[in-house]
Structure 1
Amino acid sequence: MRVLFASTNGSGHFHPLVPLIDACTARGDEVLVVAPPRLEASLAAREQPYRIGGQPKDDEVMPVMTRIQALPPDDAAALMVGEVFGRLGVAAMLPAMEEACREWRPDLVLHEAFEFASVVAAERQGIPHARVAVSAARFTGSTDGLLRPVLDPYGPRIAERLRESPYLTRLPASLDPSPYAVTHRYHETPEPGVLPDWWGGSEEPLVYLSLGTVAGALPTATGLYRAALEALSGLPVRVLLTAGHGTDVSGLGPIPPNVRVEAWVPQADVLHHASLVVCHGGSGTTFGALAAGVPLVCVPLFADQPTNARLVTESGAGLAVTPTGGPADDAPELGTDDVSRIRSAAELVLKEPSYRARAECLADEVRATAMCGELIDALDPRS
């Protein structure tokens, strides 16, 4: 089978495709990945063939992003999906997607949930397509209504056909019920590596602190991390902070002896040992923690993060601390009260065993879903 994978910018959008790409490769399928220029370094490091498409120009995107930063979370998410991923993203990526579908002739197109140019190209060529969840279905479904004016000018019923296509998600049904008639749930099986002993043999609980690749690249990321470290200071824990390659760690100030700061560590390695994850509620970190049975304290900032934080609290697998510090320089920051609230939430989740127990129940539910290879078998249009 020939499978075309399509992604927008950002590792958080590309990474959900990776286990499916690997499953197809293991099956002996032919794989082609089509993505914007900013993913080229990630694609070049892999073995699968890829093509680079276009991306919106900065002078088109920046005015929209400025508007997004000034809006409430729900309105900002709607503008991001409708304008950046929708109108601008489709126009930029469509030529490369159409060329790949027309010349390479895939049997199946798998696209991350907010990459829509491949849907247009697949519909025009009569190729089956399915979308791979990046966020919770609650969030994705809430943005579907924005897509008809974006997609239907490219052809009749394209937005409707997107909604009718198979929806592939790593989230268990009890956590994230799906509004989509054809929903396939699956799980990946990462092999955790050895986590270095950066704490001199200490056996205190390990807290994993991360703001992901997007929030971690904000101008205020250093301040956000500093506030989170202050919240965890004094607790009897080990802390691993992954700051990303774009954060100036020199601005974090003195690092407590129980804290290790790294640019990046494989998430599976950390979660295998962690007792708690403190994060921004980004989908990759949040759902990875739950799949590993690790409870969370979420500090949601924007986009789908408030939705993810609500799912965590509603499930009983953690707590959410909504920042009250307010915007500064058009980016979120944490106030003094937030620091004490994060500390209290972390103490409670570490102390109360019900949070860990609920996270482990969700992990068991995840492991009961199909494996990636089984999912690809089910999607093969030739069978």
Structure 2
Amino acid sequence: MKFLFFPMQAHGHVNPMLPLIQELVSRGDEVIVYVTREFEAAVRNAGASPRLLDDALAVPSTVSVLPGAGGAPSMMQMMPVLLGIMRKSLREAPRVVERARTEQADCIVYDPMSVWGRAAAAKLQLPAAIFQTSFALSHSPTIQQEMRKGMKGVPPPRALLAIGRLLLTSEVMHWRHGMPRMSLGSAFTSVEDLNIIPVPRKYQPDAESFDERFLFVGPSVLSRNDRGDFPLEQLDGKPVLLISLGTTPINQQPGFYKACFEAFRDTRWQVVMACGKGLDPATLGPAPSNILVRQRVPQLEVLERARVFLTHGGMNSTMEGLWHGVPLAVFPQFGDQPFNAARVSGLGLGATLSAQDALNPKALREAIERLDTDPSYRSRLSEFQREFREAGGHRRAADALQQYATTRRGPRQKAA
């Protein structure tokens, strides 16, 4: 069979799909993935064939376009950038759909935040499945209520202008090309007859509300072969603390990294810190001798050696940390990260850090020590790891996807 994959162009959205893509290829299926050049090598390494998109559709790695971006950008600052990408995606969607039409595929798999993927699913009338890279949202009152809380208040003028432009472009593309209309909420609540959710059912809020269309397969953690020249041997025999705020522009927080310098300078910890490619490590000043600072690190390989993971709480990082049985100190920023922080804390798998604690070296050090020395965290993590193994991961997802594509050939019927 031939599958078309349409991820959103960000590491946290492409990476979770790669094990499933690799599994399908290993079974003899042909997989085509629509990505920007940044992800071309990763797609080829998974055995699939990339189809290159305009680089303007990628989530930017820096926030220099935003005024006053001296620390982490707020959601309101990020909104015009993200909505601008969605607007570009709407304009590009007709060309992508026509290109996808020539592939003669059997099934489409799309990230609901991938505008061109959703358009291809609607226009080509092929069996279509969703790969949701975070929580399932459509039937979760808990998450929807929290999202409404986070969006209270009037957005700033730049955000309002971006919203207006997006909705206008959506209408134009609908009337000119028959593209599905876009709304601010539809990117999060779209539902197909098969929805693959890469988290364990036990981790999903309101899990009982989701019917058989939702397949909770848990994460699939496979090496990304991204070690490069990172000195993993330097970690041997030492208690390792991994610090990373992910790959999006929220990782540009020099004040936080400097607080980490002070918190762990000359301690027992071997710290591995990823500051993101948008921030030059030299701007942080000389690093303590026990802290390795890189723009990017081989996260999976470091987690295999880590005792604690200080993370922003993105779903990809959260799942990878829990998969390896590492207690999490979650310093959430925006999006699904506060939900992850609350879920991790509620399940006793780690702790949530407030901004005040994360920027206070003494409080930060005490939180990390508590996670490492309290045996109850590792005990609960050990129990929870069984949930990951039993969920089935990429193999269960591939089984379901192949069966779905086989039984749904012909005009597809969208889920209500």
Equivalent residue number for residue 27 of structure 1: 27
Q: 1:167 to 1:89 in 2, by over 3 A?
A: farther
Q: Aligned with 2:329: secondary structure?
A: strand
Determine the structure 2 residue equivalent to 1:357. Answer: 379
- Determine if the alignment matches structure 1 residue 237 to structure 2 residue 269: yes
Moved more, 362-371 or 20-29: 362-371
Equivalent-residue separation in structure 1 for 2:21 and 2:354 (angstroms): 35
Q: Is 1:174 aligned to 2:202, yes or no?
A: yes
5+ residue gaps in structure 1?
326-333
- Give distance in 1, aligned partners of 2:202 and 2:136: 12
In structure 1, C-alpha distance between the alignment counterparts of 2:9 and 2:103, rounded to whole Å: 22
3-state SS of 1:114 partner? coil
Aligned-residue offset at 1:290? 0.9
Offset of residue 77 of structure 1: 8.1
* Alignment of 1:207 onto 2:263: no
Q: Tell me the distance in 1 between the aligned counterparts of 2:334 and 2:221.
A: 29
Displacement of 1:305 after TM fit? 1.8
Q: For residue 344 of structure 2, what is the amino acid of its counterpart?
A: V
Checking the alignment, whether the CA contact within 8 Å between 1:163 and 1:180 is kept in structure 2 is no
C-alpha contact (below 8 Å) 1:136/1:308 kept by paired residues:
no
- Residue 92 (structure 1) shift: 3.8
Q: Which residue of 2 aligns with 1:103?
A: 102
- Bigger drift between 19-28 and 252-261 goes to 252-261
Structure 1 equivalent of residue 114 of structure 2 = 115
Contact 2:10–2:58, Cα closer than 8 Å, also in 1: no
Corresponding residue for residue 185 of structure 1: 216
Of 344-353 and 42-51, deviating more is 42-51
SS at match of 2:272: strand
3-state SS of the aligned residue for 1:137? coil
TM-superposition CA deviations, 1:44-92 (whole Å, max 9, x none) = 666422212344699xxx999669999975x6788777x3564x15414
Alignment partner of 2:191: what SS? helix
1:130 to 1:232, Cα distance in 2 relative to 1, 3 A: farther
- CA drift at 1:316: 0.9
> TM-score normalized by structure 1?
0.80
C-alpha distance 139-340 of structure 1, shift in aligned 2 (>3 A): farther
Alignment partners' CA distance in 2, 1:167 and 1:57: 24
CA contact (8 A) 1:8 1:36 kept: no
Counterpart of 1:330 in structure 2 is none
Q: 1:366 to 1:233 in 2, by over 3 A?
A: same
* 1:32 CA displacement: 0.6
State percent identity of aligned pairs.
25
Aligned-partner residue type, residue 109 of structure 2: L
TM-score (norm 2): 0.74
In structure 2, the residue matched to 1:344 is 366
Distance change >3 Å, CA 100–CA 139, structure 1 → 2: same
Say if 2:240 and 2:308, in contact at 8 Å, map to a contact too. yes
Of residues 371-380 and 11-20 in structure 1, the stretch that sits farther from structure 2 once superposed is: 371-380
The residue identity in structure 2 corresponding to 1:310 is: A
> Does structure 2 conserve the Cα–Cα contact (< 8 Å) formed by 1:85 and 1:115?
no
Aligned to 1:379: 401
**Alignment correspondent of 2:158:** none
Query: Is contact 2:32-2:49 (8 Å) kept?
Result: yes
SS in 1 for 2:383: helix
Shift of residue 208, structure 1, vs aligned partner = 0.9
Change (3 A) 1:21 1:228: same
Q: Matches of 2:67 and 2:204 in 1, distance apart?
A: 31
Q: Equivalents in 2 of 1:96, 1:47: separation in Å?
A: 25
Counterpart pick for 1:197 among 233, 236, 240: 233
* Partner AA of 2:406 in structure 1: R
In structure 1, what is the Cα distance between the partners aligned to 2:309 and 2:295?
17
Contact 1:172 1:362 in 2 (8 A): no
Structure 1 pair 56–48 and aligned structure 2 pair: CA distance change class (3 A): closer
Deviates more, 1:34-43 or 1:149-158: 149-158
Q: Which moved more, 1:101-110 or 1:40-49?
A: 40-49
Q: Over aligned residues, Cα RMSD in angstroms?
A: 3.9
SS of the counterpart of 2:365?
helix
Contact persistence 1:113–1:134 (CA under 8 A):
no
Alignment of 1:259 with 2:259, yes or no, is no
